[in-house]
Amino acid sequence: MLLGKGNSVKSYKLLINVRRGVQILNIKKTVLVILIGVFVISVTGCNLVQKEEKQGKEVNGEIIIASVNGENIPKVEFDKNLEEIQEMIKTYYGEDALSSDEGKKVLENVKEQLLNDMITQRLILQKAAAMKIVTTPEEVNEELDRLIEQFGGREEFDQILNERGMDLEKLKKDIGYHLTVEKVMKEITKDITVNDVEVKEYYDNNPDEFKEYPDEVKARHILVNTEEEAKEILKKLKEGADFAELAKEYSKDTGSKEEGGDLGYFNRGIMVPEFDKAVFEMEVGQISDIVKTQFGYHIIKLEDKKISPIIKFDEIKETLHGQLLEEKKYETFNKKIEEWKGSAKIEKYI
């Protein structure tokens, strides 16, 4: 009932990698993402205004859905990619995942994102050709061998391909694109650096990212509907009443009521913001004043608190430098792609 949007406290490596992954997602949509099975679609904040459906444009007997500097993107290729994504969504979220109104909105968003991804792909490959960057079949096979090894051998790898309905030749094509992107990015970002001042500044400005483990508290609470009820209960507590017994008698939180309001241990960021802020500012044994949230009025008792020490700068300086450098390169590359898009002739037909 009190859950917020999730735990915001993670190790510094994970946070940096997550940010980096978000920045490069539209570029680096490779087989690795599909094989691992990590595919998250969010419609929050997306433009879901319904558009007039266009079926593509016929060129020389072929239906195309876009062109990039005169290079056409066939609708059949778009449909194949879309089918793979739809099957993956159904695999992880159920056969009816795209049948609901919400699912249909998600699908429209997926289509738009997929088209943008395919346009970006064509654009990067065009730039690679202009830069005389190529990826050889030998390089693709070497990367494929590494993937097979990571997944425990050929038998396990083939099973995953079969379960996902993936074609090996298309997989190799995706790997080739992925390797080409890396080469183009390496060329574009070869002069990017991160100095020691930047590393220390990031460390100093983001202390929560460098904790050895997430901060954690153990608490009880009593939830009621009105402030007047909360005041009466708080008065009883100040007079010496037992917190757990009052929780059993008065709390509206059915999830913790019978346990005397016990919420167990939880990390920073798990509860709704008002509750989270209050409980992490308390001392062990302390009973809070009344805390108002979207659920009602709370009185909190803090029973235990484990605050993580910060990892020393010298212990993570080298690793952090590498992570920040990689992040900076991705940011630079994404900006360059946006520049390319701005000067490219891009036409969409769906």
Residue-wise DSSP of 248-289? HHH---TTTGGGTTEEEEEETTSB-HHHHHHHHTSPTT-B--
**Beta-carbon count within 10 A of 42 CB:** 8
Whether 297 has a pLDDT exceeding 80, the answer reads yes
**Nearest Cα residue to 11 out of 242, 281, 308, 303:** 308
Query: Residue 302 phi/psi, 5° resolution?
Result: -90, 125
**Cα separation of 169 and 340, whole Å?**
29
Q: Find all residues with CB under 8 Å of 134, minimum gap 6, and list them.
A: 128, 180
Whether 218 has a pLDDT exceeding 90, the answer reads yes
Q: Which helix (DSSP H) or strand (DSSP E) does residue 222 occupy?
A: strand 216-224
Whether 7 has a pLDDT exceeding 70, the answer reads no
Q: Find all residues with CB under 8 Å of 253, minimum gap 6, and list them.
A: 1, 2, 221, 223, 261, 295
Pairwise pLDDT comparison (346 vs 107), residue with the higher score: 346
Coil, helix or strand at residue 298: strand
Q: What band does 247 get if pLDDT is binned at 50, 70 and 90?
A: very high
**Beta-carbon count within 10 A of 45 CB:** 6
Whether 39 has a pLDDT exceeding 70, the answer reads no
Domain 215-306 CATH (choose: 3.10.310.10, 3.10.50.40, 3.10.150.10, 3.40.140.10): 3.10.50.40
pLDDT tens digits for range 141-191: 999 999 999 989 999 998 888 877 778 898 999 999 999 999 999 999 999
The yes or no reply on domain 23-195+323-348 and CATH 1.10.4030.10 is yes
Q: Which of 6-10, 43-47, 55-59 tops mean pLDDT?
A: 55-59
Pair 325, 194: CB distance under 8 Å: yes
Q: Which helix (DSSP H) or strand (DSSP E) does residue 220 occupy?
A: strand 216-224
Whether 74 has a pLDDT exceeding 80, the answer reads yes
Q: What band does 50 get if pLDDT is binned at 50, 70 and 90?
A: very low
**Cα separation of 154 and 303, whole Å?**
52
**Cα separation of 140 and 160, whole Å?**
19
**Cα separation of 31 and 23, whole Å?**
17
**Cα separation of 67 and 51, whole Å?**
20
Average pLDDT in the 256-267 region?
97
Q: What is the pLDDT of residue 2?
A: 58
Whether 23-195+323-348 shares its CATH topology with 215-306 is answered no
Tally the C-alpha atoms within 13 A of residue 13's C-alpha that lie toward its C-beta.
7
> The dihedral of CA 31, 36, 37, 39: what is its sign?
negative
- The two structure tokens encoding residue 164: 């996902």
Tell me the CA end-to-end span of the chain in Å, nearest whole number: 43
Pair 269, 8: CB distance under 8 Å: yes
Whether 43 has a pLDDT exceeding 60, the answer reads no
Pair 222, 255: CB distance under 8 Å: no
pLDDT tens digits for range 183-216: 999 999 999 999 999 999 999 999 989 999 999 9
Contacts 24+ apart (CB under 8 A), 117-122: 117/26, 117/29, 118/66, 118/73, 118/77, 118/78, 118/81, 119/66, 119/68, 119/73, 119/341, 119/346, 119/348, 120/26, 120/27, 120/337, 120/341, 121/177, 122/68, 122/71, 122/73
**Domain assignments of the chain as residue spans, ordered by start:** 23-195+323-348, 215-306
Q: What is the pLDDT of residue 102?
A: 85
